[in-house]
Structure 1
């Protein structure tokens, strides 16, 4: 038996126009409304062993990038990448650690080298101080021994022997010189022949080299005059220590050996390519370059290495005695080390170490790590390739069998190579194929039973459709009658509401009128109170006016008294004027003796005239006051008459307000009776509205029930139509299912 099977998702086509079909009509039109059976569309499967996409096409692009082979290679390469990262981190950590340790050790070595030089310089200073206070040397320098040749010869031999001993004790000392004044022989540890003193020329040279041109520093970088006098090589001396004896009888000069300092530099090993040296504050350099055996150095004769650089100048200005920092020199990175002298000799130890030397061991770690990574990549690639080939072989075999199953052949059997998990996968795949074969055979039997049930569903859907149509027609007739009853009830309710609105309007106007009447009554009461108060104020005004009149009468009396007093003053001033005139006449008769009395008389006459003038002004002011007082008395009398008239008018207004209050009280009584009648009509209107609303509620409830029944009938009709369509679609799918299932091969 050969059965071809393929799952097909079919969309049923709606048949007919939705109307009710009779059972006989449905059978006649079934062929017309039924959609044509769809033939299965077989999907083209990819060749065995090839990856496929959702549409069956061969996978490419990103899918190939995510293949199992690539994933295996990535899984092998990830640990290698971690090893690379660890190597890089280790290299950086080692480089940093080595740089830090090298920097610390280099600073210690540099400081020790500078300390060694400082110890030697301190010894030299101590020995020179002994000769500075030596009394015999002072006497010799002052010429005191010139008369005693034996003592002079003994002194010179002893002193020279002592100087030679000191020179041999400290290899940093190249020569020791005693510079004397002209006419006195000077002597040196390196000059067997005695020379005439050049004290003045030596001081002049050293003063010229000083900053101010006058003082002489204890440390200098050479002495050309002394070299010329003693035929010395200036290159053998790096720096000079000089100190005068007591009384400046002579100068003690100690030459610091360049070769000794150079030997000290050679003993310091900072690695190949490093440059170290002693540099004075003024820029004189003694350099040594560590060059590989058989190689050539980079230093050029006469070339300055440290003195002209910014990092050297910055180190001199800094307060730290020993520093180490990274600098750029000749386009490369160097570790710069700078140590200062603590003896104030103006000498510094400087060194430049290439960073390649510092990180040399770290570079070895880097090379070992790179070699290990390359070896790990080769091993991982070989192992990954072997595993991938084995997996691909099994995948091709399993994929080939799956492609046969996809084509409908359920009789095939999956086989795998090896004894790994692919054997379990093959066993699971065979079980799956066997179960699918049993499923297809059972499905074929089920389709036969389902085909019989579909015919019974067609018959039942036709009966349900007919009943649904009858129920819908009956419900529509009920709805028409209920609509008419609802219209009549609505009309009655509208008219009742209109009457209710009219009654409400009348009651509102009555209430508004009643409120206005109450307000008017209150306003009348307030007006009466205000008018009463006005009457009281008018009485008080009349009394105040009466008091004003009395006060004005009293003011007239006082003004008359003032006039009498002014008259008295005028009379006195006239008499005083006559007296002053007589006094003036008598003073004129007295001549010179009466001049003083004439002056007094003149002043008295002026005072009398001023008094008379003031009395006239007072009289004028009193006359004006009297005139205004008389006018005020007339105004006060007129005000009393007006107040009396106002009092009568207030009494009349009070009587009018009383009559208005009685009329308002009667109006309020009538309005209350109207309000009582309106309330009774409103209660009857409410009873009518309640009855109409009850009728409307019953009609609405009935209509709602009818609509619900109508909706249920329509749902039943739609369900019957849907069931009919589903039945047709089921028949169509059954035909297609039988066609598809026939494609599977389940038996030999």
Structure 2
């Protein structure tokens, strides 16, 4: 059979259907007298497939549902236990982070460190600053050298060049002051800022990866912070805390910062790189949870995360789903085995149904096909007592009645055929005459109709052109009004620009005058400085004279005591004068600096004013050019408006002419259509009569041919 040799490349259900057809055909091949025209549509195949699919689907549904349920339960339990483990690890790490924060607070509040920082800030002597920095380094070593978890600790000036570093390689002061992380620490205003892991430390010279924390080092008395405290910690401390934590086979624990970059991972090469798994944003209200993701290798992962209390970092744990459901896979494998057994059982039941139901039905179907081809002598030999036996007996009775009916119908068809032939000849003659009249009338009507249609189209087109002309005229008027407004605005802008040029010139004169006056004030300040130098010298000479007078009074003995008192008062007065002169000198120096800054600002501003004047003049020229162009545009719009008016009047005349042509064409078309309608009605009647005659003759012929195919013997 040809249907067994075709290659099937469809879905799994089509393959199973083809397999069922093959089994069904093989079962029938052993029965003589059985012919199968299309086994796919056979009742036996359908019953076989229903039984086979019902048993197999039930087994698969139960097994796969059990596998899916056990898989979900395992995931939930692992998620719960993993979340608890991550929470405990997060608590341990939070405690470690708190210890480092407490260490920075202890360093900041240390009295020796505070005193030495104050000394470095107050002293202008390089030697004293060196001594203070040495003491500050010794005080900082007390906290660092005994702690092996710290890579280094540094006190870095926010502005300046003198800093302290204790421990391993430290970042340079210049690099630190240019870095973004130092700006974050300064902007935090004294709060601790945690810096993500660097593979070779902030200095890029550390022997291992480190993370850091920093805060502004404020003065305990003034609450002013000119330094920051930076502490770098080896990443190994986190590794030690997480060494005994495991979420399952193939699991991995990582720490990411608020930008989702890796702060900690067992694979050091992945540090500072983005985590391949997308977590919820750190600013959301959800601080912990779990989700499912796909690894870069394409395997499914169960992901759990928890956020630290002291920073925006999060601890993340991943477990491969494949390792979790290894035990559940046994249920799936057992399901496939049971499904195979059920498939064999279903095949056996299907073959039994084929023997009991399908084979008798196929025999009866073959007899019906033979009867349909004209052999009315066929009879069924099935004698069973079930519904199929009753169907066989009814088939035999039906064939006997059809045989009698065909014999009687054959005689009647011969008489009808003779009558139909005579009626056809008469109808054809009448239809020929009516058709010739209808054709001539229809040609006249078609010509009149075409003329009316074309006239109507011309009228509609002229009407549409008129509407478009009105829209063009309206738009032209609006463009003219808009152009007038633009021209008026250009004139107003030109006036404003002239006023602005005058004001800018006055501003330039005032700036130039201010520069000259500040220069004079600067010269006056220099004169005051010279006078203060003279007064300072006078104060020193007065002090020396008072000292000499005291010496001479001491030599004079009792006679010089009164003079000694006067000399002492003169010395005090000289000291007070010197102090006052120093204060005035400091004030004068401050004024001198402010005057220099004012001169610098005015010198910078003066060229800018000159550029502004030039730009304003150029803008004024642009406004003048726009005003001239808009005047020309308004004149051209007036010319276009006149041309459109002439075109509108011409279109009105054309529209009236097309309306007259359309009316005449419609009257001619209506008259022609009335005549054509009458001719068509006569033609239709004649053609209908011919068709009825042809149909009667055709039916008679077909009936005769059909009855001739049946054999009653």
Q: Same fold (TM over 0.5)?
A: no
Higher relative contact order (CA 8 A, sep 6+): 1
TM-score range, shorter chain: 0.3 to 0.5
Compare CA radii of gyration and give the structure with the larger one. Answer: 1
TM, length-normalised to structure 2: 0.36
TM, length-normalised to structure 1: 0.34
